[in-house]
Structure 1
Amino acid sequence: MVEAKKIDSANAIVTGKIDNETLEAKKDKIAKEIAKKAKIQGFRPGKVPVKVVKKMYAADIEQEAISEAVKELLDEGIKQLGTAEIIGEPEVTKFDRKEDGIEIEIKVYTKPELNIGDEYKECVPEVELPEVSDEEVEEELKKIAESMAENKVSQKDTLEEGDIAVIDFKGYIDGKPMENGSAENYPLEIGSKSFIEGFEEQLVGMKVGETRKIKVKFPENYGAKEIAGKEAEFEVTLQEIQEKVPAEINDELAKKYMNDENANLETLKKFIKDSILQRKKAEVFQPLKEKIVECLVEKYDIDLPESIVEREIDVIVNNEAQKLSPAELKELQENPEKLKEFREKFKEEAKERVKLTFLIDAIAQKENVSVSDDELMQVVYYEALMQGQNPQDMVKYLQENNLIPVMKMNMVEEKLLNKLLEDKIKGE
């Protein structure tokens, strides 16, 4: 006899009993299967008596018989629950051996029932986007021109901050030449802080053809340990002064910057204007997204699968535990009551996170918002390249730690909130 009873739309209990007759029948069947393949000394293959097999493999046979019976009981219970989508792992909460069999109780967790109308749209405010001025576009154009500047020989005869000094230098420590401490025609932008502290500053005021002795001290934490913390002297000759000349703002600049032979200054300006608008839109959207999320969590009251909430508490607790001192961590590990209190602190936060996940999923389906595998992989590859990692290694890590679904859901949330806000932009 199996009975499935819903606690609410996200949690159910399946109860039943495995009688001894059922268990024995399963043990016989399993033993017969083993007997066909078992190789036991004194018996021909396939001719081992079932009685011998049952005696030799008693514990394994019983375990397999119970597992099979529990699975059948659970399958029947899930069938009774109807179309509910099972999520998470079912949990055996009672396993009671009696004289006539085993009484079983299993908690089953299902996707909660959500009846989403249009009420979520009440959480989305109207959006007024700031305009992009011609001055902002021109300012960005200047920055692009500067970023594509060329170094040209300057007519100056005295080196100033911001100039590029083309220098020959030789370095000495304790009067001996430094290994890899010399170069010729080395371009150094004065003020870039790319050399040891104090080096660039001492070059200011030099004239072309002049030679100076520069004294500096290598930092204590310098990468090359053999010279870390040591004083050095450099003999520097200024061969040439160069200055950065911004690129001309014209169609050629547009072609180079956009890597498009068909581009011109007008298409570049439009691209810049759109880029600034997207940046401003992101700045306007971000605080509104946070308010939408808070509103959704407050607006809806839904049943939550206990196992998913507990799993989310685990995630939060693990993250928070990393902030604790070794002594605090040890106390938690050794004191079950303290650990229970610690977990309880994050229960509401975990519930809100789980609730939001189900809400976002349901609203995204209603709004026809989804994230394809291609979109996901593009983001993964981009993140990997930004962090200087191998994209395949990052994909493997995400898969092994079951983080792909989490990442995909985060992307769905971002995409959905953007769409909801885009739909509320005034004048569009």
Structure 2
Amino acid sequence: MTRWEKIENNKVKLEIEVAAPEVDTALDKAYRKVVQKVSLPGFRKGKVPRRILESRFGPEALHEEALEILLPPAYEQAVEEAAVEPIGQPDFKLVQIEQGKPLIVHATIEVIPPVELGQYLGLEAEQEEVEITDDQVEHALRLIQEQHSRMEPKEEGAAAMGDLVIIDFKGFVNDEPYAGGESENYALELGSGSFIPGFEEQLIGAVTGEEKEIKLTFPENYRNEKLAGKEVLFKVTVKQIKEKKLPELDDEFAKTVSDKDTLAEFRTQIREQMEQNALDQARAELEDTLIKKVAEASQVEMPEILIERQIDKMLADMKQYLHLRYPGLTLEKFCELSGKSIDELRAEKRDEATEKAKAGLVLGALITKEGIAAEESEVEEKIDGITAQYNDQPERVRNYLENQGRFSLKEEIRIRKAIDLLVSAAQITTVKKGAHQSE
């Protein structure tokens, strides 16, 4: 049973009540789980009677586990009964949980503001046709060949384009070292373009053990505004030179890197994968275009909390990207190298975050208007698919999804259906690649 009231602006207070028999069952389950971790003198581990356990640790020893069982489905039902759409996580206040009595919990949630939907059916959009050329396939094959190359010490000769040089370097501006301008045992591929223009070129012809001084000027548009346009002197020591050894492109190579027996079959597989990737990308771009059109045509007063949360998500994604792409490079270090603060980075992301947050609200309004629902069979199918990806403790994953992740999975399914509706109802024109009309 749920009662609710609007308390301010877009905030709602839900009074959630769960019947006493369900509470008793949950407390029993909680006891069976908690007792397995408890050892008391005179009892074997896992065999402490419930009345002894509660006497020693208090009835609240079972409350956390019981709430994990009771609260997620009760909250989901309360939200559905109140016909509200929460923003983010609720603020729960436990009022009562006791054997033989109903559970009473108050949940304060911020809900989405009303959205005035613009046109969303019959939108016009263009989609590029997919065409993979022989040159693209060959380029992809060469990249795979590069990925399986070996870097071996260069026994003779000087550093050349494509070689990997292991260097120590230290940069000076106005005869003073600058932050981020020093490294040891740095692996630099000559020709990668990862340093400022001119640096890599001046290492061509260097030999192992050589010490060089490289004078350059930072570009005017350099990411660190404090260094842009300034002269810099790098003192560099070449510690080692390695050259790339590529494997032969033959049937043996195909067998090594794929499940194909011949290079010709592997080329066909590459083409098919590239075509599928291109189709997926074209579909994603089409979806983004349609969502953007609906959002631009719709009116909604954006809650600040949504914008800030979207910025948080974008920065979290950025942190993960930096960690994977440049191990050891933190977001704070990235900002330092870019000559900006975290607050300045957040300000830069604000417009994009507002656009994304608005798109989410608009899709939610579309879901409500069209009565789009997630069937239980669809949720179960999604849970099965996710669980199948986890060989380690699949039942634990399933239990989490069944109890705490179900609401999110339903929302994900509804959003996918809403986007599919936009696409199926759109008037789509297929155009040659690169022939998109400017918007």
Give the TM-score, by structure 2 length.
Answer: 0.37
Rg bigger for which structure?
Answer: 1
Give TM-score, length-normalised by structure 1.
0.38
